[in-house]
């Protein structure tokens, strides 16, 4: 049984989209955010130091898009230092996001968690709950991957509280799914199922197939964890029937791995082999 997903770049795509000031819709492994406008301009926008920070942030974004991750760090750290010198909490928070992303993409997973935490704290001080929620969620995603489940639950729940205040129901649905997944890994299946079903029901109501797919995939994985293989196959089939173009091939292939595991668990060895070999086959 696959207990934890291998960390992927998909979850952190939402951070880049937010920092770029464009709409984002990310899931599963993911940060699901509803479309969000660019952050409003700071009163310090005409300050030369603030303008330099904005330039550094823009350069970080461009370098990330090119995959030049090693060049992001120095610019992000400079942005943090300059923002601190003028007491601009929001710019400091945004710069710390890029510090964290640079560390993550350089393979320093555990070291990237603290800058996300700091980013959340500065976003809170600066009065930007959207940025704060995203930073909290970013930290939680990585905490799960290093097995720090209690801390991850704390940060996910803090993000959930903020998204509920913002009435961001798509983000709320996705966060419920992420919290449910942790309880499934911890084998608290009753709590996990409650949260995952709540996430699924909300996603169906919102007609958000990306979050719906994520919830169904997590439910399938949970059922494999408690050896309910036929139910896992039902959830998987429902998820794979969704047609949204936001559900990419990597997400589908990951779920198809679970389909193969469920077939083997149910004694359908030929179907399991067929699924593993061809990427399909219920």
Q: Encode 47-72 in three state secondary structure.
A: CHHHHHHHHHHHHHHHHHHHCCHHHH
Q: Which of 39-43, 95-99, 185-189 has the lowest mean pLDDT?
A: 39-43
| DSSP code at position 44 | G
Say whether pLDDT at 204 is over 80. Answer: yes
Q: Residue 11's CB: how many other CB atoms inside 10 A?
A: 24
Q: CA 57, 136, 90, 78 torsion: positive or negative? A: negative
Mean pLDDT, the chain, as a whole number? 86
Distance CA 39, CA 168 (A): 16
Query: Largest Cα–Cα distance in the chain?
Result: 67
User: Is residue 143 within 8 Å of residue 105, measured between CB atoms?
Assistant: no
pLDDT attached to residue 132: 97
Say whether pLDDT at 198 is over 60. Answer: yes
- Span 227-276, pLDDT tens digits: 999 999 999 999 999 999 999 999 999 999 999 999 999 998 888 887 76
pLDDT attached to residue 1: 32
pLDDT attached to residue 272: 83
Distance CA 257, CA 264 (A): 11
Q: Residue 74's CB: how many other CB atoms inside 10 A?
A: 12
Distance CA 83, CA 75 (A): 12
Question: What is the rounded average pLDDT of the residues 8-22?
Answer: 46
- Span 135-180, pLDDT tens digits: 999 999 999 999 999 999 999 999 999 999 999 999 999 999 999 9
Q: Which of 3-12, 66-75, 120-129, 203-212 has the lowest mean pLDDT?
A: 3-12
SS3 content of the chain, % helix, strand, coil (to 5): 75, 0, 25
Distance CA 214, CA 218 (A): 6
Q: In sequence order, what are the residues at sequence separation of 6 or more whose Cβ sits closer than 8 angstroms to the Cβ of residue 62?
A: none
- Span 56-97, pLDDT tens digits: 999 999 999 999 999 999 999 999 999 999 999 999 999 999
């Amino acid at each position: 049984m696959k207990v934890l997903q291998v960390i992927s770049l998909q979850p952190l795509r939402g951070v880049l989209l937010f920092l770029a000031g464009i709409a984002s819709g990310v899931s599963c492994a993911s940060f699901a955010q509803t479309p969000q406008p660019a952050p409003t301009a700071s009163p310090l926008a005409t300050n030369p130091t603030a303008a330099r920070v904005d330039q550094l942030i823009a350069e970080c974004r461009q370098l990330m898009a090119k995959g030049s991750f090693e060049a992001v760090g120095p610019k992000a750290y400079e942005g943090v230092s300059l923002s601190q010198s003028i007491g601009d909490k929001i710019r400091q928070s945004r710069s710390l996001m890029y510090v964290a992303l640079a560390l993550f993409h350089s393979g320093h997973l555990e070291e990237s968690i603290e800058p996300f935490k700091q980013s959340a704290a500065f976003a809170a001080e600066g009065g930007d709950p959207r940025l704060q929620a995203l930073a909290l969620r970013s930290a939680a995603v990585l905490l799960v991957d290093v097995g720090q489940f209690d801390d991850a639950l704390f940060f996910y729940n803090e993000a959930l509280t903020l998204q509920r205040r913002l009435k961001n129901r798509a983000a709320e649905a996705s966060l419920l799914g992420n919290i449910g997944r942790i309880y499934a890994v911890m084998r608290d299946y009753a709590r996990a199922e409650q949260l995952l079903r709540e996430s699924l029901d909300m996603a169906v109501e919102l007609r958000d197939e990306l979050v719906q797919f994520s919830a169904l995939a997590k439910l399938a994985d949970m059922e494999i964890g408690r050896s309910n293989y036929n139910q896992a196959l039902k959830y998987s089939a429902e998820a794979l029937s969704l047609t949204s173009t936001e559900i990419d091939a990597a997400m589908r292939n990951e779920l198809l791995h679970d389909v193969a595991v469920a077939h083997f668990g149910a004694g359908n060895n030929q179907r399991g082999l067929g699924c593993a070999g061809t990427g399909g086959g219920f």
